[in-house]
A and B are shown apart, each in its own frame.
Chain A
Amino acid sequence: MISTIIDRLLLSIPVLLGVLLFGFLLLQLVPGDPARVVAGPSAAPDVVEALRVQMGLDQPILVQFWAYMERMFTGDLGRSMISNKEVTAELAAAIGPTVELMLACMIWSIPLGIAMGTMAAVKRGSIVDRAIMAISVAGVSLPIFFVGLLAVQYLGVLWLNLPFIGRGGPLWSYDGLRHMILPALSLGAILVGPVARMTRSSVLEVLKLDHVRTARAKGLSERSVILRHGLRNALIPVVTLIGLQAGYLLGGAVVTETIFSWPGIGRLVVGAILSSDFTVAQGAILVFALGFIAINLIVDVLYSLLDPRVRK
């Protein structure tokens, strides 16, 4: 168990290095001179030159890369090219809301997806199964921005008057919760479908297994067979799926945060890229990649907890 985790951690190292390299290249490939971008178009040439030396841009590329890695590991991501704020400070302020949003969306969509998938598997071939599968495939096919726009239009403006601009305060406050509803609903909508589909097929798979058949033969009720023996094993691939969907979900968060003016990393990175704030963009992209690696690590650990074969 612990060795699995250590294994996974070690395997993450090359991935992490690759991600850092990508972040470095991003700033190298940006058109124009980074020193010129930072100094502004009206700065005198000598000012730009001084800045270039200060930023280490006159050094050979390997030296620059080494300096960059040093800064990354000491947590120095530089300053925003636009606001001159510390990138780490901007990121720190944005991570909370994004994590909040992701958790809030998973809290309703994953149980719902699992319930739908299990139901479909149990009533396989029935009208219920077909209806649930139709809803799921439709959910998988919906453009995330369309869900967001409809949520704003109908739940926000016309029917329920739920807030759709930004965060209303801390999550545990009444206003904070109200503000969370629409973004979490929209983002979760894209997750229900894949979870339901995966649950259904893995429950079906598990129901064919020997020990489930044995349990049935022993005369256990269908309900307890599914809940005690079926679902637990069926959840393993679902957990894996959630790891795989993490990237999709992070991408969805970018759009959702933009639509709902949610002050998270997604909105930060879109704003930074649109305003050529490359240091912030770099930092945010690194955070996203780290988040993805972390989610997959957690998924692997969960996986080993759920699957007795891996546990041993």
Chain B
Amino acid sequence: MKVSTRTRNRLGLGAALAVSLPALASAQTVTILRQQDSNKYDPPAITALSGSEVLFMMGDTLVALNEDMQTIEPLLAKSWDVSEDGKTYTFHIKEGVKFCDGKPMTAEDIAYSINRWISPELKSGVAWRAGDVKEVVALDDYTLKYELNAPYSELLYQLAQSFGTVVDKENVEALGADFGVTGFNGTGPFCWESWDPRNEMVLTKHEGYNWGPPMYGEGAAKVDKVIWKIVPEESTRTVALLTGQGDVSYYVPYIGLGKLRSMPNIEVVRSDAAFWTNYIGFKIDKPGVSDPAVREAINLAVNREAMAEDMFFSEVDPAYSYVSKGALDYNAEVDAHLIKYDPDAAVKVLEDAGWMLNADGVREKDGVTLEPVIYTFTGEWAKTSEAVQADLLKVGINMQIQPYDATVIWGKLATQEFDMYTMGFPYVSTGDALNLYFRSANIPSPNRMNWDDPETDKLLADAAAATTDEKRASDYGDVLLKVQKAAVWLPIYEKPMQVAYVKNMAPIKPHNIYGAGLYKGLQLAFTD
């Protein structure tokens, strides 16, 4: 990175001022900077990280996930039993749990929340995550029976996600369409105070909260207030931390991380315990990108190593496999099928397949020109797309970029209008990733590739119901190999979780659940 020394000196000065002038706002308020808002805060209806990260703080789930991303910890359930056949889970619910309005929470509320999540009326895009449910009922105030039609090895991981956050039936019914818009009555360590869409979300401490997951110790939140502040501009988020206008963020642009690490008043912590892959997907039944040769050539033409170094300042690793090599059930056979940067080979693949340059310098075959349309998020993704666009232009592919704001793109991505799309996703295991994207039942979204393959469906179902680790690993491994060979994605990079915070805060251990680096917010505290 080239930074002129003059700039550096001035920056040092500014930061020194920042240290000497602490924010005048109450020290017990934590301002978290983030990039974008969610369109509402209704657990099963929202699948974006911007919704989950706030819901984790406002509400609780049956079980929690440890920072190691492996261990399931008690949360609303203090313990649970699983039947021999793996189909029935019996949860023993903690006593004394209260909603923010003071009402006690019972197993009835949990049953209501789960049934609402999977109810066909709600049309939740993530209902499948709850498993093939036969019945979820409260046996008494503190016992919940969760019965499945088939065993589901990932159930507890999925129940720790924000979609199963316990809601208050009266609250849901009273607010109707305004639920999660004008209010939300949860049992989490923080309570909804106010929401100003696209500006800020204010949460206040839930007094008397003492049912948090064991990893965070006993007791309630250590700060009085949390403000989730939306700052869409990348550079502003960086300088806001530098100047003390924000306290913590895991949305710092890569260009700013190096700078923040060098500042005496900022701490940047990193975790590699979980996985996040950014990729570009192809709609495999669209003219042009339906040809596997074209998809392979695109994989060959895009220099991801250069992008990782030049645009993301080596804060990320270039990706070639669809899931990280470190993920549970990763198939080492895939390593032989990774497509690395080789623009000459890209040209050869295209020409062998009959895609020839036309008068405009764009490749064409049988009247189809290679001008795929990509739907992309604005911001960092738009820049990534521009770099991909420039690389593809060099081999005669004229990609068209259509950027959309984060609030609308989800709707756009559920259509069949585009040829390519950008997406980043968090996952805990190979199975987690594959189930999300490659089940034919998940067409058109999140299976936006239209990958419709009975064999894949069968292998995924077998793996989910597998009773041995070996069987599960081999089934998932087969699917991974299959989709990787078909080049249905262009993986871009894998990123670690990095949280930057001001040094007068107590040390933060980043969490990785669904990419929500602060999880319950229970470790947020000031040292002075």
Contacts and interface: CB of A to CB of B under 8 A. Distances in A.
Interface of A: 40-43, 79-80, 82-85, 90, 93, 152, 156-161, 163-166, 168, 174-175, 259, 261, 263, 267-268, 271, 274-277
Nearest to A83: B197
B454 interface: no
B194 to A, nearest CB: 10
B196 interface: yes
A259 B232 CA distance: 9
B465 interface: no
B197 A157 contact: no
B242 A165 contact: no
Given A164-B236, A165-B245, A267 B198 contact: yes
A85 B243 contact: no
Given A263-B200, A271-B198, 9 more contacts: A43-B123, A79-B177, A82-B197, A83-B39, A84-B177, A93-B196, A158-B13, A159-B10, A263-B199
Contact of B239 (A40, A157, A159): A157
In which size bucket is the chain B interface?
35 or more
Contact of A157 (B11, B232, B378): B11
A2 B197 CA distance: 42
B24 A175 contact: yes
Interface stretch (B14-22, B166-174, B482-490): B14-22
Nearest to B445: A42
A24 to B, nearest CB: 22
A268 B412 CA distance: 22
A109 to B, nearest CB: 24
A146 to B, nearest CB: 15
A276 B404 CA distance: 10
Contact of B10 (A79, A85, A93, A158): A158
Interface string B239-250: 110110110000
B125 interface: yes
Contacts of A90: 197
B8 to A, nearest CB: 11
Contacts of B412: 41
8 contacts: A42-B123, A79-B177, A93-B196, A159-B14, A165-B245, A166-B229, A261-B236, A271-B198
Contact of A175 (B25, B199, B236, B408): B25
B43 to A, nearest CB: 16
B414 interface: yes
A157 B407 contact: no
A168 B411 CA distance: 34
Most chain A beta-carbon contacts within 10 A, residue among B24, B25, B229, B245: B245
B226 to A, nearest CB: 16
B40 A84 contact: yes
A277 B407 contact: yes
A169 to B, nearest CB: 8
Contact of A261 (B24, B178, B230, B408): B230
Given A161-B243, A164-B236, A275 B196 contact: no
Contacts of B407: 82, 274-277
Contacts of A160: 17
B415 interface: yes
A263 B227 CA distance: 15
B150 interface: no
B21 A174 contact: no
B245 A275 contact: no
A299 B436 CA distance: 60
Given A164-B236, A261-B236, A157 B242 contact: yes
A93 B199 CA distance: 11
A161 B243 CA distance: 7
A161 B23 CA distance: 11
B231 interface: yes
A179 to B, nearest CB: 9
A79 B39 CA distance: 13
Contacts of A43: 123
B107 to A, nearest CB: 30
Given A90-B197, A166-B200, A166-B229, A157 B243 contact: yes
A274 B405 contact: yes
B231 A85 contact: no
Interface string B125-139: 100000000000000
A89 to B, nearest CB: 9
Contacts of B39: 82-83
Contacts of B401: none
Nearest to B200: A166
The 3 closest A-B pairs by CB, nearest first: A275-B407, A274-B405, A161-B17
Interface in B220-264: 229-233, 236, 239-240, 242-243, 245-246
A83 B14 contact: no
Interface string B392-417: 00000000000001111001101100
B358 interface: no
Contacts of B177: 79, 84
Contact of B415 (A41, A79, A84): A41
A41 B445 CA distance: 11
Contacts of A268: 198
Nearest to B25: A175
Given A156-B243, A157-B14, A85 B229 contact: no
Contacts of B387: none
Contact of A165 (B11, B229, B411): B229
Contact of B196 (A80, A175, A263, A277): A263
Given A157-B11, A161-B17, A41 B414 contact: yes
B280 to A, nearest CB: 21
Contacts of B182: 85
B181 interface: yes
Nearest to B413: A41
A271 B405 CA distance: 9
Nearest to B238: A157
Contacts of A83: 39-40, 181, 197
Contacts of A84: 40, 177-178, 181
Given A41-B414, A42-B445, A84-B178, A164 B24 contact: no
Contacts of A85: 178, 181-182, 197
A275 B242 contact: no
A88 to B, nearest CB: 14
Contacts of B411: 40-41
A48 to B, nearest CB: 13
B70 to A, nearest CB: 34
A212 to B, nearest CB: 51
B442 to A, nearest CB: 12
Given A164-B245, A175-B24, A152 B239 contact: yes
A158 B181 contact: no
A85 B179 CA distance: 10
B13 to A, nearest CB: 7
Contacts of A275: 405-408
B283 to A, nearest CB: 15
Nearest to B177: A84
Contacts of A259: 233
Contact of A166 (B17, B21, B24, B199): B199
A261 B33 CA distance: 12
Nearest to B31: A165
Nearest to B411: A41
Contacts of A156: 239, 243
A116 to B, nearest CB: 30
